[in-house]
Amino acid sequence: MIDIDHVAFGGRSLDELRDAAANVGLPTEYGGEHGTGTTEMAVVGLPDGAYLELLAPTLGTDPDDAGFWPAHLAADAGPAGWCLDVPRVADEAKRAIDAGVRVDGPREASRTRPDGARVEWDMCFEGEEGDERLPFVIADRTPRTYRVRPHPELAESPLSGVGSVVLAVSDRAATSDLLTRRHRLPSAVEAAGPFDEFDVLPGSPVALAAAGGDGDGLADRVSRVGQGPCAVLLEANDFDAAADRFALTDAEAFGPEGESRVAWFDDDAFRGRLGVVGR
């Protein structure tokens, strides 16, 4: 099974994303500019070590020229890519190739924190260009604590980590097969959830939402930025406590038997795209 290292959530303005996070009760820490000089980021560091990366173009950079997910940033699309932490990127790239998956990498990347510390890692993207259904992989070259630490304000909070990444897809069965072939994830099953046609992959942090026809919001999203993450659900170990602490919308059922609950962070930047899941 897989554990999500982090999820990138992109927009045109990092200040606006951080303001939205503050409005719903999520603390952020500025993480600095990436080595390309075209994007900057902030971190919502979760207690289990996973995190949400808020990502936007640097001042003066056109979003279309950004080094990471330019289409997502230009469209203020929110969820952009999801990541797994691995021991060696080259080994994962070989596994992907052996599974018949195209790879872009390994490549080196970095960013410089506000305190001047340089954070360095290796990474590799998988899948066809413009297709973010598969996670990218990362291996730290500097200590992982350089890259992220849990935010102290969330240490005693009801949130624990990333509960689920929801992928907007054109074909749920084909995507389930792809995830099984590459990462040995279980087959998808229909579930209650925040989208009309919705599956979960039991025991994994992955869910699938079907993009319908013309006029469907997910179909419009896929046409603009391609298949891939459309929503991120943070895990709550106490859903009622999370609803008390954070600004959330009304809850609805989640899971194969509707055994869990899900709600969105109640801000225009996050509704339908960033939420909380838990019992």
CATH of the domain at 255: 3.10.180.10
Residue 109 forms part of a structural domain:
yes
Which of these three, 123, 147, 171, is where a domain ends? 147
Contact 232, 52 (CB under 8 A): yes
DSSP H or E segment with residue 145: helix 144-147
Environment class of 9 (CB within 10 Å of its CB; exposed 0-12, middle 13-18, buried 19+): buried
d(Cα 161, Cα 142) in Å, to the nearest integer?
Answer: 22
Contact 5, 83 (CB under 8 A): yes
* Amino acid symbol at 77: A
According to DSSP, the β-strands at 260-264 and 78-85 are: unpaired
Q: Quick one: 176 and 262 in the same domain?
A: yes
The answer to which of 41-55, 131-145, 148-162, 212-226 has the lowest mean pLDDT is 212-226
d(Cα 222, Cα 231) in Å, to the nearest integer?
Answer: 13
Q: Quick one: 71 and 25 in the same domain?
A: yes
- Residue 260 domain boundaries: 157-278
**The pLDDT of residue 184 is above 70:** yes
Closest residue by Cα to residue 224 from 64, 66, 83: 64
Q: Quick one: 189 and 75 in the same domain?
A: no
Closest residue by Cα to residue 193 from 94, 268, 277: 277
Q: How many domains does the chain have?
A: 2
Residue 152 forms part of a structural domain:
no
Q: Quick one: 136 and 36 in the same domain?
A: yes
**The pLDDT of residue 212 is above 70:** yes
Q: Is the CA virtual torsion 182, 184, 190, 193 positive or negative?
A: negative
Q: Quick one: 137 and 209 in the same domain?
A: no
Q: Quick one: 25 and 72 in the same domain?
A: yes
Using the 8-state DSSP alphabet, how is residue 98 labeled?
H
Q: Quick one: 43 and 131 in the same domain?
A: yes
**The pLDDT of residue 1 is above 80:** no
Q: Quick one: 13 and 83 in the same domain?
A: yes
Residue 240 forms part of a structural domain:
yes
* Amino acid symbol at 199: D
Query: What is the rounded average pLDDT of the residues 51-75?
Result: 97
Residues 216-244: tens digit of each pLDDT: 789 999 999 999 999 999 999 999 999 99
Q: Is the CA virtual torsion 42, 44, 45, 49 positive or negative?
A: negative
Which of these three, 99, 121, 147, is where a domain ends? 147
Q: Quick one: 142 and 162 in the same domain?
A: no
Q: Quick one: 131 and 164 in the same domain?
A: no
- With left for phi above 0 and alpha for psi between -120 and 50, is residue 83 left, alpha or beta? beta
d(Cα 38, Cα 59) in Å, to the nearest integer?
Answer: 8
Q: Cβ contacts of residue 125 below 8 Å, gap of 6+?
A: 81, 103, 104, 105, 136
Mean pLDDT of the chain: 96
d(Cα 225, Cα 214) in Å, to the nearest integer?
Answer: 15
Q: Is the CA virtual torsion 18, 147, 207, 262 positive or negative?
A: negative
Query: What is the rounded average pLDDT of the residues 174-198?
Result: 96
Query: What is the rounded average pLDDT of the residues 194-223?
Result: 90
Closest residue by Cα to residue 183 from 127, 99, 106, 240: 99
Which of these three, 147, 171, 188, is where a domain ends? 147
The confidence score (pLDDT) of residue 213 equals 59
Residue 1 forms part of a structural domain:
no
Q: Length of the chain, please?
A: 279
Residue 65 forms part of a structural domain:
yes
- Radius of gyration (Cα) for the chain, nearest Å? 17
Q: Quick one: 205 and 259 in the same domain?
A: yes
